[in-house]
Homo-oligomer: A and B are copies of this chain.
Amino acid sequence: MGRLLVVGSVAFDTVRTPFGEATEVLGGSATYFSTAASFFTDVDLIAVVGEDFPDEYVTFLKSRGIDVSGLERRSGKTFRWRGEYTYQLNEAHTLDTQLNVLESFRPKIPDHYRTPDALFLGNIDPELQMDVLNQVERPRIVACDTMNFWIHGKRDALWKVLEKIDVLVINDGEARELGQDFSLVKVAKDVLARGPKYFIIKRGEYGVLMFHEKGVFGAPAFPLEMVKDPTGAGDTFAGGFMGHLSSTGDFSDAGLRRAIIFGSVMASFTVEGFSLDRLRPLEYQDIETRFRDFKRLTHFEDLS
């Protein structure tokens, strides 16, 4: 089992979906990511919270075996996000963002975090992502998320990060913005030519595509009877993906494909509840059961 370092946000989310709502619940990319990854590997967390962040949440993260030495507590309030979803569950509508302590966040890496086996650069300012990358010994695998805000506002800084990473994980809308082309295949060619060896495109309820030099892997999302809240699906996808890779150290094509499925499994659980509600009672056996269900979902016989 390797050590997986993640930097990202910890937040209070207020979310409304067609299936319910939740107010000031635990959220944030690093929270979702590290919780999902903790089922597979040892996770070191870097993030910032305010004075209002309850001890019970820290206790929860610790209970998942997550090292929270890098969870900085500063004076001020924790980052807050408020948003809603219509039946177009793939698209979150942000109603309000209060950066609070996140605004002046400068990730500081504790000494014992500096030799991770795997690193995930969550969706923060690409300059901060680069800063983190520069503070650690190059891990065996580095993945990165981003969003349209950075693609538009810090395009050059973002491309500098992308040149140094192994895996870019973004959604289809972001991919089209980044590549400035409608064809995901063309965008993938462009991205792969400029740095990352793997380019993962998340498509929400429609699944995921992973492009690499030798081809492409595609998996549908797991068909669910009840989706409650898509928030965190992409982050827990990345957490399952990187957690599995960190745990196995198997970066072969077969290993990466399996990691994609583990990521998809974690995302499928996440959306069945608000906040981390569905991940809290989860056991590793549940994950393996759904992995096998995924195999049954997608398997067909090749031509002889």
Contact = CB atoms under 8 A, between A and B. Distances in A.
Interface of chain A, main secondary structure: mixed
A130 interface: no
B216 A297 contact: yes
Interface in A165-201: 182-186
Contacts of A295: 300, 302-303
A218 interface: yes
Q: Oligomeric state, in number of copies?
A: 2
Contacts of A254: 300-301
A148 to B, nearest CB: 16
Interface in A192-240: 203, 206-207, 209, 211, 215-220, 223-227
A206 to B, nearest CB: 4
Contact of A220 (B209, B224, B300): B209
Contacts of A303: 288, 291-292, 295
A223 B184 contact: yes
Nearest to A299: B257
Interface of A: 18, 87, 182-186, 203, 206-207, 209, 211, 215-220, 223-227, 254, 257-258, 260-261, 288, 291-292, 295-303
